[in-house]
Amino acid sequence: MLLLNPGPVTLTERVRRSLLQTDLCHRESEFYDLQDEARARLLEVYDLDPAQWSAVLMTGSGTAAVESMIAALVPQQGKLLVVQNGVYGERIASIAKQYGIAHDVLDHDWMQAPDPARIAAQLDADRTITHVAVIHHETTTGRLNNLCTLSALCHARGVQMLVDGVSSFGAESIDFVSSPIAAVAATANKCLHGVPGAAFVIVKREALAQAVSRTYYLDLKRLASLQDQRNTPFTPSVHAYYALVEALCEFVDEGGLKARHARYEALAEQVRAGLAALGVEPALPPEQSSVVLRAYRLPTGVTYEQLHDGLKAQGFVIYAGQGGLSAQLFRISTMGAIEPGDIERLLQAFGQLLQ
């Protein structure tokens, strides 16, 4: 079965085999070597200086990392502005609410890009806002939200950014150095091609020094400080860490961030062109989309279930639209061990189904 859903991804054989390594006690030096290597390699994905940035690992899915970041980095007296244009923006607002963090939500229609003028007006109207949360790649629609525009707005006002990079880390560029990003949350099993169970926050050490403890298990500050001392508070998903390190080695061997971006872009364009030839339209133009996943309009007279079941019978798992978009859209991700030949077969299957 080929997974074209936005994580977990189809594994390469190399990563799958890495799960068969020797059992490790998480209180032995071998585990701390593994943890150290994962943390160092995560920073290398974006060439980050370990003196300024920390990669904090945790056991959980991408949402655990997002929750850990939000719960830790908005100070007790601070306020969060959530830029919302999809399911994952909504999720950050729910997390802020759950922890009683002061916040406002700047709602957008899910098909729309964040509106810089509205964001600027909100930041100017409410000078108590200390942090802006944004989804880099809003997987709901496949839209790549423009971090540069938002960075400039935040920078000019001394506001820090908390970024959900769960479905973009490793494939889309992020300017960590000149933007006011305090942290980016992500996971092992999307663009990095690891297995589910390991997630992480890339956080500025300065921001970490001021972090607060609102949660017990996902406490970013404690996780970071213990990991810096070659320690861990709880039992980590050791095998998921093995896979993450192997996936990061493979990532480097394949040429790193630029190469992964180029690989996804070629696959996404192959899907777009092939579907266009069958009369299936993308929900957004390529220049507004990520290379990771794209949403397409369901052809008239075809339900998602028919499309999904027909493709699954031929070995492909596609993904439904979320929320109100489920009756209009379907999504295709090209993360994981997917080759141009796979996409060719996918397009043939589409062609047969749509006839």
Ligand X SMILES: *Cc1c(COP(=O)(O)O)cnc(C)c1O
d(CA 322, CA 131): 27
Smallest distance from ligand X to CB 279, Å: 28
Enumerate residues 6+ apart whose C-beta is below 8 A from 4: 316, 317, 318, 319, 332, 333, 334, 338, 346
d(CA 316, CA 312): 5
d(CA 55, CA 200): 7
Residue 141 binds to ligand X (criterion: CB under 6 A): no
Out of 88, 176, 200, 350, name the contact with ligand X by CB under 6 A. Answer: 88
* String marking each residue 39-68 x if it binds ligand X according to CB under 6 A: ----------------------xxx--x--
d(CA 206, CA 196): 29
Residue 166 binds to ligand X (criterion: CB under 6 A): yes
Q: Which residue has the tokens 């370990």?
A: 50
Residue 236 binds to ligand X (criterion: CB under 6 A): no
Smallest distance from ligand X to CB 186, Å: 9
DSSP string, 306-329: HHHHHHHTTTEE-EE--GGGTTTE
- From 163-171, 207-215, 218-226, 319-327, give the range in contact with ligand X by CB under 6 A: 163-171
331 assigned ligand-binding residue = yes
Smallest distance from ligand X to CB 142, Å: 10
334 or 350: CB nearest ligand X: 334
| Size of site (CB under 6 A) for ligand X | 13
Query: What are the residues binding ligand X (CB under 6 A)?
Result: 6-7, 61-63, 66, 88, 135, 139, 164, 166-167, 187
Binding residue ranges: 331
